[in-house]
């Protein structure tokens, strides 16, 4: 009887374990129609981009009738002084926003993961991530109201307001990779440095910062892409002479889509794809 009971116990699944059949039932990829829905979503997302890229090389001015392959619209885009000016403005704003947002996000991540626990920590995390929850149009209107009041009181104008708005909006995007990297890092090396009488600043500079570098780089790239592609906040805050590339494209589309706009959009897509691929590579390095 003991042998029979042992055999039955061996055949009975242990509590807390799932059988392969049950695991398969919970696997979304095994659900009927999952592949079809996934492919439909991929086609809906990327087919328009493929069409845009293809017709950016069309020699014909029409964006719906193909004639022959040509680089003429890329040459026209690079020769267009307004496009070059808008691109330079976008790069300046994105560079400043990336630097400011990455520094602020790194400091916030260090304070919430390496610093002593404090009352209101959860509230602080919620405030940092709040721009991800609030609709962007609400953030843009609130920022416009604040900056309008500041301009009225001080009489100071300029592109600095737009840079500041982009910086504030990009902080949570830079914060997520940095904090994720800090949470994955062990404290062993930092504690060892402290045991060897290293000062907190020396420990941060020689131990924490090199280990944190992939997360900082990932956050900076994400912030740069978000700032470079932003439309709503820029449309609300930008003043005269502060036209960015997305705003220029939006204004040009109102006059009709041309292959020149397709060429500029393709360049933006290419830059975004390269940065995203680099971001994935950095994240893979982080997991090693």
Shared domain for 51 and 170, answered yes or no, is no
**Strand partners of residue 69:** 58
User: When comparing pLDDT for 123 and 263, which is higher?
Assistant: 263
In a domain, 62, yes or no: no
Does residue 22 have a pLDDT over 70?
A: no
* pLDDT at res. 95: 94
pLDDT digits (tens, 9 = 90+) for 118-132: 777 777 777 788 888
Shared domain for 111 and 150, answered yes or no, is yes
* pLDDT at res. 146: 92
User: When comparing pLDDT for 217 and 187, which is higher?
Assistant: 217
CATH number assigned to the domain comprising residue 238: 1.10.3720.10
d(C-alpha 130, C-alpha 175), whole Å: 12
pLDDT digits (tens, 9 = 90+) for 82-94: 888 999 999 999 9
* pLDDT at res. 2: 44
d(C-alpha 205, C-alpha 10), whole Å: 55
Shared domain for 38 and 181, answered yes or no, is no
Shared domain for 205 and 93, answered yes or no, is yes
Rounded mean pLDDT, 204-209: 84
Positive or negative, the CA dihedral 101, 106, 111, 113 is positive
CB atoms within 10 A of CB 263: 26
Shared domain for 196 and 154, answered yes or no, is yes
In a domain, 86, yes or no: yes
Shared domain for 24 and 85, answered yes or no, is no
Shared domain for 20 and 94, answered yes or no, is no
In a domain, 3, yes or no: no
pTM of the entire structure?
0.77
Shared domain for 205 and 261, answered yes or no, is yes
d(C-alpha 264, C-alpha 249), whole Å: 8
Does residue 3 have a pLDDT over 60?
A: no
d(C-alpha 240, C-alpha 164), whole Å: 17
Q: How many domains are there within the chain?
A: 2
DSSP string, 140-156: HHHHHHHHHHHHHHH--
In a domain, 188, yes or no: yes
Shared domain for 116 and 256, answered yes or no, is yes
d(C-alpha 259, C-alpha 49), whole Å: 13
Shared domain for 24 and 132, answered yes or no, is no
Instruction: Using alpha carbons, select from 93, 77, 116, 113 the residue that is nearest to residue 170.
Output: 93
* pLDDT at res. 162: 92
Domain containing residue 33:
16-55
* pLDDT at res. 287: 64
Shared domain for 135 and 265, answered yes or no, is yes
Q: Which residues contact 272 (CB under 8 A, 6 or more apart)?
A: 225, 228, 229
Long-range Cβ contact pairs of 75-80 (< 8 A, separation 24 or more): 76/260, 76/263, 77/260, 77/263, 77/264, 77/267, 80/260
Q: What is the band of 103 on the pLDDT scale with cuts at 50, 70, 90?
A: very high
Does residue 4 have a pLDDT over 90?
A: no
In a domain, 192, yes or no: yes
In a domain, 20, yes or no: yes
Shared domain for 48 and 152, answered yes or no, is no
In a domain, 6, yes or no: no
pLDDT digits (tens, 9 = 90+) for 131-163: 888 888 998 999 999 999 999 898 888 899 999
Q: Which residues contact 51 (CB under 8 A, 6 or more apart)?
A: none
User: What is the chain's mean pLDDT, rounded?
Assistant: 82
For residues 234 and 244, the answer to whether their CB atoms sit within 8 Å is yes
In a domain, 143, yes or no: yes
């Amino acid at each position: 009887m003991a042998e029979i009971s042992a055999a039955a116990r061996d055949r009975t699944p242990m509590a807390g374990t799932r059988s392969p059949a049950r695991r398969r039932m919970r696997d979304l990829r095994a659900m009927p129609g999952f592949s079809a829905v996934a492919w439909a979503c991929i086609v809906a997302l990327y087919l328009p981009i493929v069409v845009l890229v293809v017709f950016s090389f069309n020699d014909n001015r029409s964006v719906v009738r193909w004639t022959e392959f040509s680089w003429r619209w890329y040459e026209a885009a690079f020769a267009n002084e307004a496009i070059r000016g808008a691109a330079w403005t976008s790069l300046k704003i994105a560079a400043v926003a990336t630097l400011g947002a990455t520094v602020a996000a790194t400091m916030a991540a260090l304070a919430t993961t390496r610093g002593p626990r404090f009352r209101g920590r959860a509230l602080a995390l919620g405030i940092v991530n709040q721009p991800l929850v609030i609709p962007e149009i609400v953030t843009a209107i609130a920022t416009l109201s604040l900056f309008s009041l500041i301009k009225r009181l001080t009489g100071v104008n300029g592109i600095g307001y737009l840079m500041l708005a982009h910086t504030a909006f990009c902080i949570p995007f830079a914060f997520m990779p940095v904090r994720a990297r800090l949470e994955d890092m062990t404290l062993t090396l930092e504690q060892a440095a402290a045991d060897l009488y290293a000062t907190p600043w020396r420990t941060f500079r020689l131990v924490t910062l090199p280990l944190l570098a992939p997360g900082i780089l990932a956050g900076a790239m994400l912030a740069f892409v978000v700032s470079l592609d932003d439309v709503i906040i820029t449309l609300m805050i930008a003043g005269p002479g502060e036209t960015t590339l997305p705003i220029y494209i939006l204004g040009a589309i109102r006059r009709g889509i041309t292959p020149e706009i397709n060429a500029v959009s393709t360049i933006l897509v290419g830059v975004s794809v390269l940065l995203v691929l680099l971001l994935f590579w950095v994240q893979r390095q982080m997991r090693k």
